[in-house]
Amino acid sequence: MVFSLDESLSDSRATHIRELTVRDDGSIGADRVFATCRSGTFDTIRSDAGGRLWAAAMGGGVHCYDPDGTLLGRLLVPDVVANIRFGGPKRNRLFLAADTALYSVVLA
């Protein structure tokens, strides 16, 4: 699960990511399908400083989504990526843990 900048909650489930509204009292409200994976299933999801959502798509690289759910692009990786995390001094380096390697990409 990951919180977006507007404090809604995203949860990956199999072939889609659901976005859930968190009410002021902490309870969960309405939900919707935020994104659907057409190349396998989602695993880890992370949010960056710009509010974009990044999702490890098992067998489909890493997908990047605009806060409105629009697919902005994919990072294609020759391995299955199961875990992603932001790091580095500016938190703009994306680390990808894959089947046979650890990758890192510096993002603008």
Write out pLDDT tens, residues 75-97.
999 988 888 999 999 999 999 99
pTM of the complete model: 0.81
Q: Is the dihedral of CA 68, 69, 72, 78 positive or negative?
A: positive
Write out pLDDT tens, residues 24-45.
898 888 888 888 887 777 888 8
